[in-house]
Amino acid sequence: MKKSELSFEVSPRPEYVAGGFKPETNKELQSVFSDMIPVISGQIGGLDSNIVSAKALHKTLGVGRDFTNWIKGRIDEYEFTHGVDYVLFDSPVLANQSTNINHDNAGWVTKRGGDRRSKDYGLTINMAKELAMVERTEQGRAVRKYFIQCEEALSRTAPAIAANYRQHLKARIKAASNFKPMCEALDLSRAEHGKATLPRHYSNESNMITRIALGGLTANQWALANGHPKEKARDYMTTDQLEHLAYLESTNITLIDMGMDYYGRKAELSRLSQRWLSKRLGVSHG
């Protein structure tokens, strides 16, 4: 992973007093954080992301608890997800928290042959912001402001990347927002024919659409094939996949309202899906 383009001029380390940094030093704190908690570029869950070291964050926040218990406790308490909010990697720092990283491979091995490397967590900026906020300390508030500055700098210096993030979020929300109206349309349509709607009818509808969008796989099957948790499949889908799903769900609502039966909708959605993909490829290669 390489350091990102986000950078701030480094000032002298601010004065620390009991309970946090002095309020009057917060401006200096914003600039020194770029050295204390660097933001680097990388990938989480196959998606480009700006990543923060949890160990660097823990040290800067001045948390009283040891690192491992702190990060595991926060992950459990706030339900952060591996592969979405953070990734694990071998820390270049020895387990005793030494800051000397100039070790050859032999330097990582204890006299008993054990590996002395410790684990670090690469956090998304959003997760890092939340961790800083929940500390409810002066330095926590200042760290959170620093991450906001990083996001603002990203929008200025890398607008295309920022736009991609926004587009992916928009597609994720749109795909999620179509499911309930689709179920309601199915309820109404079946009720008009004197039929009850059972849970399997909703899952049949959802699976039909995802199979069309994901090459014959349901969301669970796609997640399993790609090594993702099945309950969070859509969190790992690309923007194109999410937009495709949203289009099919929205179109399916219209077809249900028109009174088309399941097999008729399946055939029509398959046809429209191919047209949607062809148009998308035309735009991509135009």
Interval 43-97: pLDDT, tens: 888 777 888 899 999 988 888 889 999 999 999 999 999 999 999 987 654 333 3
- pLDDT for res 149: 78
Taking alpha carbons only, the member of 132, 145, 254, 246 closest to residue 189 is: 254
Distance of CA 178 to the CA centre of its chain: 21
Residues 263 and 252: their CA atoms lie apart, in Å, by 12
**pTM of this prediction?**
0.49
pLDDT given at position 190: 94
Q: What residue segments make up the domains of the chain, in order of their start?
A: 2-157, 162-285
Amino acid 112: pLDDT: 44
Would you state the pLDDT for residue 44?
Answer: 86
- pLDDT < 70 positions in the chain: 1-35, 91-117, 155, 157-163, 165-166, 169, 283-286
**Amino acid, single-letter form, for residue 100:** N
What does the pLDDT read at residue 143? Answer: 82
**Contact of 14 with 29, CB cutoff 8 Å:** yes
pLDDT at 157: 64
Helix (H/G/I), strand (E/B), else coil: 238: coil
Identify the pLDDT of residue 283: 52
